[in-house]
């Protein structure tokens, strides 16, 4: 519930807040209604399909704004997140804009910071070998998301699939250096898992077959290495204590 409260308390209150409760219990559903009350900005959706891509597409399809701002249920938005994103969007109108994030543990204590490439060219250059967006931190131009046919699936790599297709479509992308989100890290995350790396390798194979090049070849080679040696890779732990 901390995630929802961090959105409702934004210092720029002019937004539409869509919440998808996927595969939730009746108890949680009632708690959500009690929490948001009669706030006219909030719309609740419920689905029995516990799959992130499906629910993200449902929310994007029901949104009415020019941009869809992402967030997960275990993260926390900084109080000025909407205002800062709105200002940055007005300056450059990107297709995808994210931000660096602060890392918190299960109890909410700060454990590090995730630094990301800022400029579009640096994002594309880094894509074959490293994380270029923290998915819950991004805002996506809704028409662009519709043009590339939304999220296409994956149990752990729907974001990488989106970045790859966005790059292929010539998307205008950027990150803000200011952390606008507190991203919670915990032991059950799929990031750094063998299944996640295997999915990403399959995505890079698709890109290589569609457009063989040194760029897609590098992405395929790196992703295959990570999938094979996943047990020895540090995953999100490499960001801990990076302040």
What CATH number has the domain bearing residue 62?
3.90.550.10
**Does 236 have pLDDT greater than 50?**
no
Look at residue 173 and tell me if it is in a domain.
Answer: yes
Stretch among 83-87, 113-117, 188-192, 218-222 having the lowest mean pLDDT: 188-192
Give the position of tokens 């989106």.
162
* Residue 137: domain span: 51-187
Residue 50's pLDDT is what? Answer: 82
Spatial CB neighbours of 212, under 8 Å, sequence gap ≥ 6? none
Look at residue 82 and tell me if it is in a domain.
Answer: yes
Number of domains in the chain: 2
**Does 190 have pLDDT greater than 80?**
no
If asked whether residues 174 and 88 sit together in one domain, one would say: yes
If asked whether residues 171 and 203 sit together in one domain, one would say: no
Look at residue 35 and tell me if it is in a domain.
Answer: no
What proportion of the chain, given as a percentage, has pLDDT over 90? 73
Residue 153 — very low, low, confident or very high, per pLDDT cuts 50/70/90?
confident
If asked whether residues 181 and 75 sit together in one domain, one would say: yes
If asked whether residues 78 and 161 sit together in one domain, one would say: yes
**pLDDT tens digits along 46-88:** 988 888 899 999 999 999 999 999 999 999 999 999 999 999 9
If asked whether residues 107 and 144 sit together in one domain, one would say: yes
Look at residue 209 and tell me if it is in a domain.
Answer: yes
Look at residue 142 and tell me if it is in a domain.
Answer: yes
For helices 194-210 and 214-228, the axis angle rounded to 10 degrees is 160
Mean pLDDT, rounded, for 31-46: 91
Instruction: Give the global pTM.
Output: 0.91
Look at residue 74 and tell me if it is in a domain.
Answer: yes
- Give CA 51 to chain center in angstroms: 14
Mean pLDDT, rounded, for 175-189: 87
If asked whether residues 149 and 78 sit together in one domain, one would say: yes
Residue 241's pLDDT is what? Answer: 46
Mean pLDDT, rounded, for 210-231: 92
Backbone angles phi, psi at 162, to 5 degrees: -65, -40
Look at residue 6 and tell me if it is in a domain.
Answer: no
**Does 240 have pLDDT greater than 80?**
no
**Does 14 have pLDDT greater than 50?**
yes
**Does 44 have pLDDT greater than 60?**
yes
Look at residue 116 and tell me if it is in a domain.
Answer: yes
CB atoms within 10 A of CB 92: 10
Residue 234's pLDDT is what? Answer: 60
């Amino acid at each position: 519930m901390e995630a929802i409260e961090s959105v409702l308390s934004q210092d720029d209150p002019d937004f539409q807040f869509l919440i998808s409760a996927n595969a939730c219990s009746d108890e949680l559903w009632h708690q959500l209604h009690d929490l948001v009350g009669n706030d006219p900005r909030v719309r609740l959706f419920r689905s029995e399909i516990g799959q992130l891509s499906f629910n993200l597409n449902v929310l994007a399809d029901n949104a009415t704004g020019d941009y869809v701002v992402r967030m997960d249920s275990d993260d926390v938005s900084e109080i000025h997140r909407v205002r800062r994103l709105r200002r940055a969007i007005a300056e450059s109108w990107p297709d995808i804009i994210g931000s660096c994030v602060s890392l918190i543990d299960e109890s909410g204590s700060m454990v590090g910071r995730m630094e990301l490439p800022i400029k579009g060219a640096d994002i594309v250059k880094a894509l074959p070998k490293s994380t270029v967006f923290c998915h819950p931190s991004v805002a996506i131009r809704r028409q662009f998301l519709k043009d590339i046919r939304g999220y296409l699936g994956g149990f752990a790599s729907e974001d990488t699939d989106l970045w790859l297709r966005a790059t292929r479509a010539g998307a205008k992308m950027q990150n803000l250096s200011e952390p606008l989100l507190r991203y919670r890290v915990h032991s059950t995350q799929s990031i750094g898992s063998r299944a996640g790396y295997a999915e990403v390798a399959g995505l890079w194979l698709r890109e290589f077959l569609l457009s063989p090049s040194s760029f897609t070849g590098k992405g395929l080679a790196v992703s295959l290495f990570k999938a094979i040696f996943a047990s020895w890779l540090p995953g999100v732990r490499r960001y801990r204590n990076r302040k």
